[in-house]
Amino acid sequence: MGKLLIVGSLNMDVVIDVDTMPKPGETIFGKKLSHIPGGKGANQAYACGKLGADVSMIGAVGKDENGDKLLKNLQSVGVDTSGVQVLDYTVSGTAIITVNCEGENSIIVISGANYELNKEHINKHRNLIEECDVVVLQLEIPMETVVYVAELAKSLNKQVILDPAPAPKMLPDSLIKNIDIIKPNETELQTLTGMPTDTTDKIVAAADSLIKRGIDKVVVTVGSKGTVLVTKDKHEVFPPRKVEAVDTTAAGDAFTASLALKLVEGSSIEEAIKFGNIVSSIVVTRKGAQSSIPSYEEVVI
Ligand code: RIB
């Protein structure tokens, strides 16, 4: 089996369960407070590790208790964290997450160490890029670092997957040209392209605008409606498994990780999407980010 590298964020999630999200100016009572390892990059690395992949991570945490816990959680599922720098001049990333009764969330990220991840740090761990087959990126670290990693990875003939979250209004051409597969959800696709995404036809049209800019495959996750694959030649809809969602946090991260894991195993993109749909359908039935990721045995049974 090939090797995966995740370059991205690590956050300690401070999760508050609520009945309904607070409106501006409103004070509400929360039902429960939990601290759960998260961060889009770390969630993806953790998912790859828990699902049995050979995976490394490049990122940064502060020299603090949260940083320590985040690293230990990744190591507990076999992630190689030698590329995660521990910085003594800043704090680990934090995310404040509210989850309502419908399982929907809202997330505020305080970047901390994640925003210190720079080219020098990447160069120090260049060996991890050289040794891997697939590099997975998200957008909770500086954009110029993401652009640099994608360029370096492509120059070394690696497959590059971008999970464009949180989504900016525009992705630079310098990034797009080095991305093989992009995996937005329908809201992120709308933000990235400025095009509506409220029907399958509109999703295909918006995805097509990214294909025309040079991306090979666009995989759009549409929550309870499943996943849409768009390539130059075709589009295909993959229906979801029907489940009762209690918390959608990290469902997208787990999907991206599953996709990367299956591709590095040599599966087709279609098989990888089907596997990703199953994994994320399990994740939404459990609470929290890394706490909700299943093992490979739980998925295939
Ligand atoms: O995608 C979910 C993740 O987004 C959370 O774990 C949080 O840390 C934010 O990065």
Catalytic positions? 253
Residue 161 lies inside a defined structural domain of this protein? yes
Residue 107 lies inside a defined structural domain of this protein? no
| Position 41 pLDDT exceeds 90 | yes
Cα–Cα distance measured from residue 241 to residue 284, given in angstroms and rounded to the nearest whole number: 11
CB-defined site of ligand 1, < 6 Å:
9, 11, 13, 38-40, 43, 95, 107, 109, 140, 249-250, 252-253, 289
pLDDT, tens only, 77-133? 999 999 999 999 999 999 999 999 999 999 999 999 999 999 999 999 999 999 999
Q: Would the pTM of this model clear 0.85, i.e. be above it?
A: yes
Domain count across the chain: 1
Cα–Cα distance measured from residue 203 to residue 206, given in angstroms and rounded to the nearest whole number: 5
Pocket test for ligand 1, best of 44, 138, 253, 293 (most atoms within 8 A of CB): 253
Nearest C-alpha to atom 2 of ligand 1 is from which residue? 250
Residue 51 lies inside a defined structural domain of this protein? yes
CA 253 to ligand 1: nearest atom: 1
CA–CA distances in Å: residue 109 to residues 85, 93, 141, 144, 240: 19, 7, 11, 19, 29
Residue 102 lies inside a defined structural domain of this protein? no
- The residues, any chain, with a CB within 8 Å of residue 182's CB and separated by 6 or more, are 161, 162, 163, 164, 210, 215, 217, 218, 219
Q: CATH no. for residue 239?
A: 3.40.1190.20
Residue 101 lies inside a defined structural domain of this protein? no
Cα–Cα distance measured from residue 185 to residue 227, given in angstroms and rounded to the nearest whole number: 9
| Position 74 pLDDT exceeds 70 | yes
Cα–Cα distance measured from residue 175 to residue 147, given in angstroms and rounded to the nearest whole number: 5
Residue 187 lies inside a defined structural domain of this protein? yes
CA 56 to ligand 1 center in whole angstroms: 19
Omega of the bond leading into 166 within 30 degrees of 0 (cis): yes
Residue 15 lies inside a defined structural domain of this protein? no
CA 249 to ligand 1: nearest atom: 2
Segment 200-221 mean pLDDT? 97
Looking at residue 301, its pLDDT comes to 61
CA–CA distances in Å: residue 220 to residues 191, 197, 209: 13, 10, 13
pLDDT, tens only, 225-280? 899 999 999 999 999 999 999 999 999 999 999 999 999 999 999 999 999 999 99
Domain membership of residue 157 as a residue range: 3-10+38-92+114-300
CA 232 to ligand 1 center in whole angstroms: 31
Q: In sequence order, what are the beta bridge partners of 32?
A: 17
Residue 108 lies inside a defined structural domain of this protein? no
